[in-house]
Amino acid sequence: MIKVDISNVWGQLSLPDLLAIEKEVSNAHMTLTQGTGAGNDFLGWLTLPTAEETEEMRRIQAAADRIRATSDVFVVIGIGGSYLGPRAAIELMQGCNHNINKGKGDPQIFFAGNTLSTRAWNELLRLLEGKDFSVAVISKSGTTTEPAIAFRGLRWLLERRYGTSGAKKRIYAITDPCKGALRQMADEEGWESFVIPPAAGGRFSVLTPVGLLPLAVAGIDIRQVMSGAYEAMEEYNNLRSFENPVWLYAGVRNLLYRNGKAIEILESYEPGFRMFGGWWQQLFGESEGKDGKGIFPVAAEFTPDLHSLGQMIQQGERNIFETMVRFDAPDQKMTIMGDYKNLDGLNYLEGKTLDFVDEKAYLGTLAAHVDGGVPVITMDMGELNDKKLGEMFYFFELCCGVSAYILDVNPFNQPGVEFYKRNMFQLLGKPGYEA
């Protein structure tokens, strides 16, 4: 179980505050699990994890094995929840530089269709030069602008490199089971396809084929991922008290918000966690930011961002709180060596491990920020492995649903996202948007 420590928020909150919100947390969790709240037609993710390998998982793994055997590069086309989850998982488990020295048998994985940058497109084309590649296009509709443009370009490249029939074997569609342009294309062209459950919105879709296919191609054990998510579902939905870390996190962050802490910074000392922070940022930002409400989510990487955001956190406006995420140290250690000249002054650390220094940096930062008036929630994730990955995804999804219902907003819609699209389509001259 993930451990949530709130000992460093008591300067801002009191025990009576926490006890007073317990009924709200309980009601929000009940609203979520019983499906009685706004957006209850998008609760498919809530009971999605399974302890047993399903036929769909076997089919996903078989497709991943084919991709690994035939491709130097696998391109995942999608935007928002269609790419943030799988990219977050792969970088957390394998590091930011996971693509170096990879090829057939263990392909490089790149993400496209999440930007309109020509420079990014040209870079992707350079990375694909002389390499065999396959693509997965992820979209419920198939008409979202950024991924649709990227897919059209990559499909053109595939057909010219492998021919029409050869390209069909290298395209995988992950889309709605019945409707939408991508479903129609997949059926007409004969591409292998996987289903995004209609009741699982994009930002809650990482434990569907949206995330599972890219993870399997990366060599991550998706059975272990789903097992971890299943255990989280069983444990976190049945423990009904503040001994449940979901209740503790959701309750405390809402109490801090009511006390003027309108910005949450999610931090880790692992560089590979940065994209996970991006996934969390979309999950909470798009779920809670509506009706003039919401905690503004910011992801940060420590220690690098202590040299940029650290000053603001320490002495800026007191409208922030932090959530620090920690993992057990890996088995392989780095020991600091001695130097007889000691010009860098590091000999006092001789024989110490890098993990030892990291731990002291964490404790020193924690003490400084708390002393500076910033409440800090800490999360101990334990050992990082494939099973823990599934637990973390489910934990934060559940926290988000409960927290949004405490806030009294619909966690599963995003009406504000459509405003920029409408303006863009009008400027582009898209039919139907002239006025």
Catalytic residue among 179, 293, 360, 421: 421
Catalytic residue among 307, 341, 418, 434: 307
Q: In which band, very low, low, confident or very high, does the pLDDT at 3 lie, cut at 50, 70 and 90? A: very high
CA–CA dist 309, 336 (Å, integer): 28
Long-range CB contacts (within 8 A, 24+) of 160-166: none
Does residue 10 surpass a pLDDT of 80? yes
CA–CA dist 109, 64 (Å, integer): 12
Q: In which band, very low, low, confident or very high, does the pLDDT at 245 lie, cut at 50, 70 and 90? A: very high
Residue 307 annotated as catalytic = yes
pLDDT digits 0-9 by tens, 252-306: 999 999 999 999 999 999 999 999 999 999 999 999 999 999 999 999 999 999 9
In the 8-state DSSP scheme, what is residue 180?
S
pLDDT digits 0-9 by tens, 14-52: 999 999 999 999 999 999 999 999 999 999 999 999 999
Q: Residue 152: count other Cβ atoms within 10 Å of its Cβ.
A: 11
Does residue 350 surpass a pLDDT of 90? yes
Q: How much is the mean pLDDT over the chain?
A: 96
Does residue 435 surpass a pLDDT of 80? no
CA–CA dist 432, 152 (Å, integer): 22
327 touches 2 (CB < 8 A): no
Instruction: For residue 10, give the 3-state DSSP assignment.
Output: coil
pLDDT digits 0-9 by tens, 369-388: 999 999 999 999 999 999 99
**Which distant-in-sequence residues (6+ apart) come within 8 Å of 392 by Cβ?**
2, 228, 276, 381
- The predicted model scores a pTM of 0.96
Task: Write the CA distances from 314 to 318, 368, 379, integer angstroms.
Answer: 9, 7, 20
Structural tokens at position 254: 């809402």
Structural tokens at position 68: 């690994």
In the predicted model, what is the mean pLDDT of residues 7-13? 94
CA–CA dist 150, 92 (Å, integer): 25
CA–CA dist 196, 176 (Å, integer): 5
Residue 286 annotated as catalytic = yes
Q: In which band, very low, low, confident or very high, does the pLDDT at 420 lie, cut at 50, 70 and 90? A: confident
Catalytic residue among 91, 286, 288, 397: 286
Which of 295-307 are b and which e, b meaning 16 or more Cβ less than 10 Å from the residue's Cβ? bbbbbbbbeebbe
138 touches 183 (CB < 8 A): no
Residue 293 annotated as catalytic = no
